[in-house]
Amino acid sequence: MLAPAAGAYAHDGVKAAATPATAAPGADIDIRVQGCGEASGTAKSPAFVADAELTGRDRGERPLTGGATLRSGLQDGTYQVGVVCDGHEHPDAGTVRVQRHQPSREPSHPAAHEPAHRPTPHSSPVAPVRAGGGGTAAFAAPMAPGVAQTGGDGGLGTPYTLVGLGLAGVAAVAVAFRSSRRRAQE
């Protein structure tokens, strides 16, 4: 006799499967039911916060699907899932397994001769961060036509420094000229 797949049992030809088959308390799961002749049904379990409404198409040609949320206070274990469809109840249609802590993918005790290599989180940057206009100017600099690209790690270079100083000088002269014109008009 063959055992059915984990999380799925057949009762009167109605079979329910939970995805994932093992979930933590409070998790959302999907329910898939095969074998119902109607286009709707309900999945029930003591593990669910509320009954799961199931819907489908083609009146039994395709599986019914729905979603459920597991109760947050559940103990580890396997819980029965019942289905109501075709006008009657299928009490043992499937199961869902509840497990509080999922198994770790890392070995719990690394070999003594192999150090555990785990990345350490940094709470602050470990290198200077280029941010704001100064950081983005370096990315825009190669697109400036007719200007030699002499920048290095220390900055953008002499041509950009001179252009910047020239523009600042022009702006200072424009402000001074406008201020003197206002005073003359008053």
pLDDT tens profile 1-47:
333 444 444 447 899 999 999 999 999 999 999 988 888 899 999 99
Architecture in CATH of 9-98: Sandwich (2.60)
Cβ–Cβ under 8 Å, residues 18 and 96:
yes
pLDDT digits (tens, 9 = 90+) for 77-114: 999 999 998 888 999 899 999 998 755 555 555 455 55
Q: By three-state DSSP, how is residue 103 classified?
A: coil
- How high is the pLDDT of residue 149? 53
**18 neighbors 9 (Cβ within 8 angstroms):** no
Residues of the chain with CATH 2.60.40.1930: 9-98
Q: What is the pLDDT of residues 138-185, one digit of tens each?
A: 555 555 555 555 555 556 677 777 888 888 888 888 888 888 877 777
Cis preceding-peptide flag for 20 (omega within 30 of 0): yes
Task: Give the β-pairing of 22-23 and 28-34.
Answer: unpaired
Q: How far apart are CA 166 and CA 152, in angstroms?
A: 21
